[in-house]
Copies of this chain bind each other. A is one copy, B any other.
């Protein structure tokens, strides 16, 4: 074995591990143990090889007390990126455990968008105190970021950006980049601006580097630069990144001047958040994270439960209307939840597809009529299928063909209502600017409950009494 072989051996230790998830339950257990024992040496051994994002995950997996102990262990050596990666409740706890000056130092080291991301998540009191103690330049950048509306493109803004005039050649730009001291930490494209600082084109770094020195950047630039006004919603920024496969995107002020850039790593988080928000809202849960306290979580969900109790009572009022009919035929009480429940399930299917299609801009006023027609036909097809099964079973079990007929017809009626409500309600809510993910399911299931009970018991009172 010669030196070359040794070298190879050594390097191959750097070859990738096969584990994608570094934060294993065993690791969390060991760190928790080391914290209990106050064993700094073991903590260093365990934490040193980890990426900051993984350290943030460790914080989130620990109990409240352990989070405090770990924050104390890091002290002024806390990596600012760890703070940027923490979720709300854990972030709050860690910041409260750290010295104010350490927090200020950490936040001041971050890019302005990440600093804003931390400051917007903590209590107003902590925020004001920390901002006041920041160095002037960083403070102004952070204050500008926070001055934009929550969830707007401005909150994701990184102020450092590279702009050059269109008459520069590729050689000039590369020379400039190689000598400039104050470049952004990471950047993927150069903006070409006019004298008023309006973006007139972009050139990606890889495009730049493959082009000959003497060619003017205006010749190779993308002349339709994708930019977003600073006050637009971050969801619209995310749409553009997705739609045009962007890695970074310029942000402009009201007069169209370039004031900063948004990078794709922030957008990946936005896409995650927005999808999560839709999922949770459809289930009647507000924005949440697993570290929130019991009381927060309980309060978060009780509004929705109370509204649901109201609609459940409404459905019971419909049933109460037919109490005489049920008294005469208890089979109705046995069967009626089936009609309501199937309507609810069918409506949830249609509603979910509709809410997603609205969110991804696949469902628009261009095709809404066609899609409504389609949902109607699906509802009829599936309604008939379910009606046949439940009709035959009811007939067989209660030995009453008329009862089988009544439940079959009620099923078809409710499934059709379910299909129509499942699309019309989210589309209608979107039209009047209410988030369809938030409010659809409450309206939709109320309709299918009320219609289900009313159709079944109403038909029964007419044909079976």
Residues of B within 8 A of A205 (CB): 188, 205-206, 209
A28 to B362, CA, bound (A): 13
Which of A38-46, A98-106, A133-141, A349-357 faces chain B? A349-357
A345 at the interface (CB under 8 A from B): yes
Which of A116-124, A144-152, A293-301, A428-436 faces chain B? A293-301
Residues of B within 8 A of A29 (CB): 366
Max chain B Cβ within 10 angstroms of own Cβ: one of A51, A333, A361: A333
Report whether A12 and B288 are in contact in the complex, using a CB–CB cutoff of 8 Å. Answer: no
Q: Which of A217-276 contact B (CB under 8 A)?
A: 223-225, 227-229, 232, 236, 239-247, 252, 256, 264-265, 267-269, 271-272, 275-276
A313 to B393, CA, bound (A): 10
Chain A window 369-388, contacts with chain B (Cβ cutoff 8 Å), 1 for yes, 0 for no: 01100100110011001100
Q: Which range holds the interface residue count of chain A? A: 35 or more
Min Cβ gap A121→B in Å is: 16
Residues of B within 8 A of A278 (CB): 275, 279
Q: How many copies does the complex hold?
A: 2
Report whether B279 and A356 are in contact in the complex, using a CB–CB cutoff of 8 Å. Answer: yes
Q: Which of A424-457 contact B (CB under 8 A)?
A: 449, 453
Max chain B Cβ within 10 angstroms of own Cβ: one of A8, A283, A305: A283
Report whether B334 and A319 are in contact in the complex, using a CB–CB cutoff of 8 Å. Answer: yes
Closest B residue by C-beta to A279: B279
Report whether B301 and A378 are in contact in the complex, using a CB–CB cutoff of 8 Å. Answer: yes
Q: Give which listed residue, B271, B309, B330, contacts A327 with CB less than 8 A.
A: B330
A346 at the interface (CB under 8 A from B): yes
Report whether B236 and A345 are in contact in the complex, using a CB–CB cutoff of 8 Å. Answer: no
A306 to B341, CA, bound (A): 12
Min Cβ gap A267→B in Å is: 7
Residues of B within 8 A of A331 (CB): 323
Q: Give which listed residue, B87, B362, B381, contacts A298 with CB less than 8 A.
A: B381
Report whether B57 and A279 are in contact in the complex, using a CB–CB cutoff of 8 Å. Answer: no
Min Cβ gap A339→B in Å is: 9
Report whether B268 and A312 are in contact in the complex, using a CB–CB cutoff of 8 Å. Answer: no
A462 at the interface (CB under 8 A from B): no
Report whether B285 and A353 are in contact in the complex, using a CB–CB cutoff of 8 Å. Answer: yes
A232 to B16, CA, bound (A): 13
Say what secondary structure dominates the interface of chain A.
Answer: helix
Report whether A294 and B381 are in contact in the complex, using a CB–CB cutoff of 8 Å. Answer: yes
Min Cβ gap A227→B in Å is: 4
A265 to B241, CA, bound (A): 8
Residues of B within 8 A of A345 (CB): 284, 304-305, 308
Residues of B within 8 A of A177 (CB): 209-210
A187 at the interface (CB under 8 A from B): yes
Residues of B within 8 A of A361 (CB): 21, 23, 57
A243 to B206, CA, bound (A): 25
A363 to B54, CA, bound (A): 14
Closest B residue by C-beta to A27: B366
Residues of B within 8 A of A365 (CB): 25
Residues of B within 8 A of A109 (CB): none
Report whether B315 and A337 are in contact in the complex, using a CB–CB cutoff of 8 Å. Answer: yes
Contacts A209-B177, A284-B345 given; indicate if A200 touches B14 (C-beta within 8 A): yes
Q: A residues near B, CB below 8 A?
A: 4, 8, 11-12, 14-16, 18, 20-21, 23, 25, 28-29, 32, 51, 53-54, 57, 60-61, 63, 87, 174, 177-178, 180, 183-188, 194-196, 198-201, 204-207, 209-210, 223-225, 227-229, 232, 236, 239-247, 252, 256, 264-265, 267-269, 271-272, 275-276, 278-280, 282-285, 288-290, 294, 297-298, 301-302, 304-306, 308-309, 312-313, 315-316, 319-320, 323, 326-327, 330-338, 340-342, 345-346, 348-349, 351-353, 355-357, 360-367, 370-371, 374, 377-378, 381-382, 385-386, 389-390, 393, 449, 453
Instruction: Give 28 CB contacts A-B under 8 Å.
Output: A11-B194, A14-B201, A15-B200, A16-B199, A16-B229, A16-B256, A53-B245, A57-B361, A60-B362, A61-B364, A180-B210, A209-B209, A268-B268, A271-B272, A272-B275, A279-B356, A280-B352, A280-B353, A284-B345, A294-B378, A305-B342, A306-B386, A306-B389, A308-B341, A308-B345, A315-B337, A319-B334, A337-B340
**Additional A-B contacts beyond A188-B188, A284-B348, A294-B378 (6; CB < 8 A):** A11-B198, A11-B200, A51-B224, A57-B361, A279-B356, A280-B356
